[in-house]
Chains A and B, each alone.
Chain A
Amino acid sequence: MPYPDPNHLRTPLARAKGLGSAKKGTQHWWMIKVSSILLIPLTLWFFFSLMHALAGGFDHAAALAWVKKPYNSLLLSVFMGMNFYHAGIAGQEIIIDYVPNHKIQVPAALAYSIFCYGLGIFSVFTVLYITFRL
């Protein structure tokens, strides 16, 4: 519909008042906060348990055994999924801020989202594959 719509007598202001906001402006920001709070314990767990595991040397057999432990497998899946989810929604802000040209910004944000969510799914799948197939 062209704007202002020539087929309607309503003023742009009247139209805007009727449309209002979608009341969803804070959702994106809120999800960044939710994922960042969840990532505090998840990253600390990954960091310190990996450091602890490194103490005994970390060859393929040790890494495999570490990932295959049920709680490690579960937390690693949640961590990698949440990591790339957070990267996707928070990193998108950087593209939106620094790429002003919409013809580049929209495809760049789209490609970045596919990259992040794709890697999130890929990582979780890899952890499950290691746990159940190796």
Chain B
Amino acid sequence: MSIKRPLSPHIQTYNLFFKITSLTSILHRATGAALVAGSLIIVYWLMAIAHGAPAYDRFQHVVQHPLGQVVLFGFTWAFWYQLLSGTRHLFWDSGYGLELKRAKMLGVIIIISSIVAAIATWIYIIGVL
């Protein structure tokens, strides 16, 4: 006969999206995975440079397509999020910011500032081009 024991993390209380700590945790992984996919754009960019001007024009055609621009914006946000969140992880590793109140506050800060940084980046790029 098996004994029913509570599972960890306890499913009834574990809420992925409505707790700031679990939201930042899953976003850290999701943006990490997105950045691996996004790195393929950089590889494509390098390949296009190596192949010559016609290939590079095709690359620019792809990234300047509205869908390409949406992907690049997502890439930009994922970059800023992972950078801020990763830095927060390094602080955690050295023992700082682990108190629940501070962890929640920093979580809100990194979500908002990553969005602000991504928008600011694109305002800059659109402004100079």
**Contact surface of A with B, Cβ cutoff 8 Å:** 33, 36-37, 39-40, 43-44, 47, 51, 54-55, 57, 59-61, 63-64, 67, 80, 83-84, 87, 90-91, 94, 116, 119, 122-123, 126-127, 129-130, 134
B46 touching A130, Cβ below 8 Å: yes
Q: List 30 A-B contacts (CB under 8 A).
A: A36-B89, A40-B83, A40-B87, A51-B121, A51-B125, A54-B128, A59-B53, A59-B56, A60-B48, A60-B49, A60-B53, A60-B56, A60-B57, A63-B45, A63-B56, A67-B46, A67-B49, A80-B39, A80-B42, A80-B46, A87-B35, A87-B36, A122-B43, A123-B42, A126-B43, A126-B46, A126-B47, A126-B50, A129-B50, A134-B50
Contacts of A83 in B (CB 8 A): 39
Question: Is B102 at the interface (CB under 8 A from chain A)?
Answer: no
CA distance A83 to B60 in the complex (A): 23
A87 touching B39, Cβ below 8 Å: yes
A33 touching B90, Cβ below 8 Å: yes
Q: Secondary structure of the A side of the interface?
A: helix
Near A by CB (< 8 A), chain B positions 33-63 give 33, 35-36, 39-40, 42-43, 45-50, 52-53, 56-57, 60
Q: Which 8 A-B pairs have the closest CB atoms?
A: A60-B56, A55-B128, A60-B53, A126-B46, A87-B36, A63-B49, A130-B50, A36-B86
Contacts of A122 in B (CB 8 A): 43
What is the number of contacts between chain A and chain B, taking CB atoms within 8 Å? 75
**Which residue from chain B places its CB closest to the CB of A56 in the assembled complex?**
B128
Contacts of A51 in B (CB 8 A): 121, 124-125
